Amino acid sequence: MSADQPTLFAAIGIGKSYPGVRANDDVNFAIKRGEIHALLGENGAGKSTLVKMIYGLVKPDQGHMEWLGAPFAPADPARARAAGVGMVFQHFSLFEALNVAENVALGMENPPPLAQLAAKISKVSADYGLPLDPARRVGDLSAGERQRVEIIRCLLQSPKLLIMDEPTSVLTPQEVEILFKTLRQLAAEGAAILYISHKLEEIRALCDRATILRRGKVVATATPAKTTAREMAELMVGSALASPARAGKAQDFAAGAPALEVRGLSARSPIQFGTSLKDISFAVAKGEVLGIAGVAGNGQDELILALSGEMACGPEMIRAKGEAIGAMGPNARRARGFVVAPEDRLGHAAAPDMSLVENAFLTGAVQRKLARRGFVDWAGAKAFADEIIAAFDVRTPSSGVAARALSGGNLQKFVIGRELRQSPDVIVINQPTWGVDAAAAAFIRQAILTCAEGGAAVVVISQDLDELMEISDNFAALNEGRLTKPRPRAGLSMEEIGLMMGGAHGMEVAHG
């Protein structure tokens, strides 16, 4: 549909270095008008750097860019916007205390009066099928609605090129469909869209062309509709991928005493603008993997805090192997074979400036008996760190380096390995493969499944539905701090999952 269209944007021989990293190396690619162009690559492949150059946030060291055939070197984002580049970031920059129209006005160079702007917002939102009330306070909006604010802010400037950075990571399947319709309509009107993602099926459904980056270089250009997701993934990673496998057959986990039982867990969020937990109940048996889906900000962080023991809750609300542990702190739980791996590697699961030895001690102290009469056995901690590094193939010069010096995938392997090497009976993991390259993600999923086969009860909280479909036996979804009743994963359709995530399933009573 866009083959005969003129080229809107071209990057010619672009290079950019950061200390120790060649972020972009001789990158060439072009976007035509009316085209939905995917920029595909693992974390650290150089997608963000490239996009920041187009948006005027970073300047290339080498090469140049062209815009409608003329040289293009925006000095700052304002000039990029003036040329017709719009960008929707993965992390929103919105003020929660202000309403939609006020937030949109703050992002504009010369905003019209608010009443006029509100009318314009209503019109654009109707034109593009993005329902949004300009008078609502952003703090009350869902993640999907917040994204619409950002999109509409861009659309008001009639962009010729709209850049979307991982737009679907915060959306339910239904919201994704709405977004795709909008993007297709924009493309049909002649705008080009640069769509950054690592979700391959989405790219196959949406995009006309794909440029695949690996380690800063363009390794391939593909037509997504004619390429399988597996082929694209292998281009991204540069090697063949193994899918995680489970030896065991599907079982009925309902029989027998649960290893982890959460009953009527309600707690106020300790986080500002957080989501309180409301009457959460579920049980996980030995060998079972329960997948908990949900759009970010629906109580995942709070559920992890409650399960790790960082947030106080009633003693009877959480039971591990029959024992009431709701009132216990993290170390008392670890002593009972109950381990937790939080989502945020740098700052929560690990201390960024501490060495891997210290970080191994961080949670391994109790189970590995690394403290005697309060004195730390650093030799023992080092042995534990080295054990994790060897068993989980963590690429690091030594166990003495600071956690922040490791790549995301390697640190995640270390953090997950640290918990799984403590021979746990109950494992809770939030976002096991968030921001991790495909090879490391496959490794981590396999390690989780191996633990489940060994008899551990596993809870995986994730926003990656493909991941949950791959590894979980039962499936539940968090919505505004409530959890749906877990259902067997086999036989669930995408539509049913979407309804569970949207809170429509099994929630009638709770909402009533």
Partner 1 sequence: MIRLERRASASQFWIWATPVVAVALTMVFGGLMFLALGKNPVDVIRTIFWDPLFGEFAWYLRGQLLVKAGPLILIAIGLSLGFRAGIWNIGAEGQYIIGAIVGAAVGLAFYPTENRWIFPVMVIAGAFGGWAWAMIPALLKTRLNTNEILVSLMLVYVAQVILAMASTGFLRNPEGSGFPGSRNFSSYPAAGNPELIAGSGLHWGGVMAIVVAIAAYVLLQRHILGFQIKLAGQAPRAARFHGVVPQRLIVLCMGISGTLAGLAGLLEVTGPAGQITIDFNVGYGFTAIIVAFLGRLNPLGIVLAGLIMALTYIGGEMAATNLGLPSAAVQAFQGMLLFFLLGVDVLTNYRIKLGGGA
512: contact with partner 1 by CB under 8 A: no
**Residue 108 near partner 1 by CB under 8 A:** no
Residues in the chain: 512
Site membership for partner 1, residue 362 (CB under 8 A)? yes
- In this structure, which amino acid lies at residue 392? F
* CA atoms within 13 Å, Cβ hemisphere of 277: 26
Residues 300, 363, 462, 479: which binds partner 1 (CB under 8 A)? 363
The three-state secondary structure class of 86 is strand
Tokens of 107: 């992002």
Using CB under 8 A as the binding rule, the residues of this chain from 263 to 322 that contact partner 1 are 308-310
Please, which of residues 376-405 interact with partner 1 by CB under 8 A? Answer: 376, 378, 401-402, 404-405
Strands lying side by side in the sheet with 260-267: 277-284, 260-267, 318-320, 323-324
**Residue 491: CB atoms within 10 Å:** 7
By the 8 A CB rule, do 400 and 309 touch? no
**The only residue of 109, 110, 375, 491 in contact with partner 1, by rule CB under 8 A:** 375
Nearer CB in complex with partner 1: 210/365: 365
For 384, the enclosing helix (H) or strand (E) is helix 378-391
DSSP letters spanning 37-52: EEEE--TTSSHHHHHH
CB of 119 to partner 1, least distance (A): 40
- Applying CB under 8 A, among 238, 248, 322, 347 the residue interacting with partner 1 is 347
* Residues 456 and 286 sit within 8 Å (Cβ to Cβ): yes
User: Do 367 and 425 contact (CB within 8 A), yes or no?
Assistant: no
374: contact with partner 1 by CB under 8 A: yes
Q: Return the residue of 119, 220, 351, 469 that touches partner 1, per CB under 8 A.
A: 351
Report the distance separating Cα 75 and Cα 78, nearest Å.
8
Restricting to residues 429-488, name those near partner 1 by CB under 8 A: none
13 binds partner 1 (CB under 8 A): no
Residues that contact partner 1, how many (by CB under 8 A):
35
- Give 95 or 378: the residue with its C-beta nearer to partner 1: 378
Pattern of binders to partner 1 over 29-68, x per CB under 8 A? Answer: ------------------------------x-x-------
Closer residue to partner 1 in complex, CB, 350/439: 350
Contact assessment for residue 14 and residue 26, using Cβ atoms and an 8 Å cutoff: yes
Q: Give the residues lining the site for partner 1 (CB under 8 A).
A: 19-20, 59, 61, 308-310, 329-331, 340, 342, 344, 347-354, 358, 361-363, 365, 371, 374-376, 378, 401-402, 404-405
